Structure 1
Amino acid sequence: MQVTTALKAGVSLVVGLTLVLLIVGQLLGQPVLLGYVATGSMEPALNAGDGFVAVPSIVADDPEPGDVVVFDAQTLHEGGLTTHRVVEETDEGYVTKGDANPFTDQDGGEPPVTDGQIVAVAWQVNGTVVRLPHLGTLIMSVHSVVTAVFGLLAAPLGIAAAFDADGAGALLVAIGIALLGVGLLLERTGATERDTERKTNRENVIGLWSAISIVVLLLAVFATAAMVIPAGGATYEVLATENPTADPQTAAPGEVATVTRTIDNSGYVPIVAVLDTSSDGVVVEPRSTTVSLQSTSEVSVSMTAPETEGRATKTVYENRYLLVLPPSVLVWLHGIHPFVAIAAVNIVVVGVAVGVILALFGRSDFRLRSTGRKVSLSTRLDRLVDRWL
C-alpha cells in the first residue's frame, strides 16, 4: 500500500510540475518544452493558437533552412518572441519567414537573426512541425488571468513595475522549482507517512516537517525569484563606419567598439553575475563579477565591427546567483548549466534553513497552548505585554 501511495504521489508531483513549467515557461517569455503561435503567420503548419514542442536552443542542433525557430526579434512584434521558419543562412545570420507571409522578415526590416537570438527550435517529424491544437489559446487565457491577478496584488504594494506579466511568469517558474526542491527534501528527510498522520491529527499540534516545508518553500521561492527575474539577454548594435563618432557603439570597419554594462543589485544579499555571449566578435570582461548588496558593478562589452560598413547585432546573456557559495564554484556550476547553479543555491539555502530550525526547536512537533475561550482579548494582550516587560 505504501509503495502504491508513494508511486501515485510521485506521478502527481511530476505531472503537476511539468504542467506548471510548460505553462509558465510561456509567461516567462522563454519556452520551456512547449511554445505556441498567437497569429496565423505560420499557417498551414501552425494555426493561430496552436502549440508545438519547443526544444531549447542550448540542447538543439544548429538551425538549418526549413527549421522553425523561436527567436527574440528586434522589430517584429515590438521586439517580442517570434516563431518563423529559417529559409536561408547567411554570413550575417539567418533569414526567416512566416509560411503565410509573402516576404521574409528581413525584407520587412528585421535584421538577420543571430544564434544568440534563438531561444528554441520547434520539433519536427519528417519535416513537419508536431502541432498541439489550441494549446496556445489555453496558455494565453492563463496568461491573461495571471497578469490580471498579479496586477491587482502588486499595485497596492507598490511593486507593479517589478511584477509585470514577465515577472509574474518568472515568479511562477520560481515556485515550480521551489516546490520540486521542497518535495525532494521532504521525501528524503521528512517523517514517514505513519508518523505524519499520527502527529498532525493531534489537537493544537503542528507537525515539525509541515512547518519546515512552509518556511523552506517561501525561502526557495524568493531565492529563485531573485535569481530568475533579473536574468536575461541584452542586445547591442555596433555600427561600422569610415567616420566613427563619439558614440561608443560606432567603430571603423573591423575595429573594436567597447561599451560599459552596469549590473545593479538592489537586493540585500550579494550576488555573482555571470555573462555569456553567443554572438561572434563580442567579449565581456570580466566574465563574472561579484556585486555587493545595494550596489552596482560594471563590465566591459567589446564588439568587433563588421569588415564593411553596416550594422551588426551582438547578444549578451546575464545570469545571477545568490552568493551562498564561493564565486568560482558558482561559475563552475553555471558552466554545467544555469539550472544546476540555481539548484545548488537553493540546496544551500534550504539546508541552512532546515539546520537552523532543527537547532532552535529540535525534532519535536510544535504544540500550541490554548488559554481558553473565556479569557477576553484584552486580558490576553495584557498578559502578552507583561511577558515582554
Structure 2
Amino acid sequence: MNVLSKIFNVILAVVVLCSFIAAVGSAITKKPVLLTVIRSNSMYPVWERGDMVIIDNLNPDENISNRDIVFFKAEKGSLATKGWIAHRVISGNPEEGFITKGDANDYSDQESDDTGPIDRKWIAGRAFEIGDTPIVLKKIGYLSLWMEKYQSNPLLLPGFALILGIIIAIGELKPSKKRKRKNKGMELSLIYFTGGLTISIMLGSTMLSSGHTLNQVYEVSEQSQGVLIGSDVGILKVGESISRPLSEIKNEGFFPLIGAITTNDKQIQLSHKKVSLPQGQQINATYTVHAEDPGKYKATIKVGLFYPLLPASFIYFLAQKSYWLALIVVSIIPGLPLMIYPLIDGKMRRKTINILKKKKRKLQGILHL
C-alpha cells in the first residue's frame, strides 16, 4: 500500500504541475499549450467531454497529414465564435486549407459551416499520439470545467481558502497514533506550502485572464501620411497627433480592482494610467499617438487588473517595470503566510530539515553505489 500511495502521489503531482504549466502557457500565448480540456463530445469515442488531452504544439512549417487530430481556431465564419476546436483532418493541404470533421459528427465542418477550409496558420497543434492512439487522461478535466463555470463567483476564492484551512486544521488535530510521526513535519510543510501556492496560482490566473495586450504597428514620416495595413494608426506625418479607443475596462466582480495601463512607446499618451475600479464601475480608455520622430514603431500597451492587496501607486510602479513582476508580487501575497509558516514554526522547521538531511544522506549512499 505504501508503494501504491507513493505512485499515486507522484502521478497526482505530475498532473497538477502539467495542468498549471498548461493554464499559464495558454493564458500567455492565447492558445492551447501542453494540455487542454475537452468541452464537447464531437470526437467520441476518441475522447469525451471532461477528458484532458496532451497536445503536440506545432511550428508554422511542420507538416500536417490526413487523419491528424488538430487544434485550430477559425478567424472567419460561424466557427470563429466557437473558440478552439479539436477535429480530425480528412483532406486538404497547407496551400488550399484543410477539411476537418469531428469523428462523432455526420458532416465535415466545411459542409455544416460557412467558414471554408481551415487555414494552416489557424492550427496551433495536434493530439499527441503513441502509434495511432491519442494520449487521453479520462475525466480529469471536469474539475477545470467546474472551475470555469463558477470562476466569476466572488465567493469562490475565499471559499477555497476556507476549505483548505479546514483541511489543514483537521490534519493538525488528527490523533498522533494514526500518523507517522517521523514524516509529520515534512507532510505538514508540504501541505502548507502547496496550499499557499495554490491560492496564489488561482488569484494570479484570475488577474491574468482579465488583462489584455494591444500591439500597434505604425509609422512616422516627415513628408506624408496614409494607411498602413493591419494598423489602426497608419502613417503619421511629423507633428500630427491621432487618438484611438483602447479598451472598455469594467469591474464585473465583487471585489474592487486596480487598473494599471502601461506602454513601452514614449510617443503614446494614455488617457488613464492608474485607476481604482469599485464593483460595477467602467471606464473607456483611449490612447493618443504624438508623431515626433520619423521611423517605424511597434508599440505595446498592456492593460492589467489587480486586486488591491498593495497600494495602487506601488502596483502601478511594478507594472511600469514589468506587468509580470506586478502580477507575481500581487498574486503571491495571499498565499505567502501559508508558504512561509513551515519556516517560522521552529518545531516544524527542525523536523523538515532533519528529514531532508536523512533523504540527502540516503540519496548520496545510492549514488555512491
The question of a shared fold, defined as TM-score above 0.5 by the shorter chain, is answered with no
TM range (shorter): 0.3 to 0.5
TM-score (norm 1): 0.43
- Calculate the TM-score normalised by the size of structure 2: 0.44
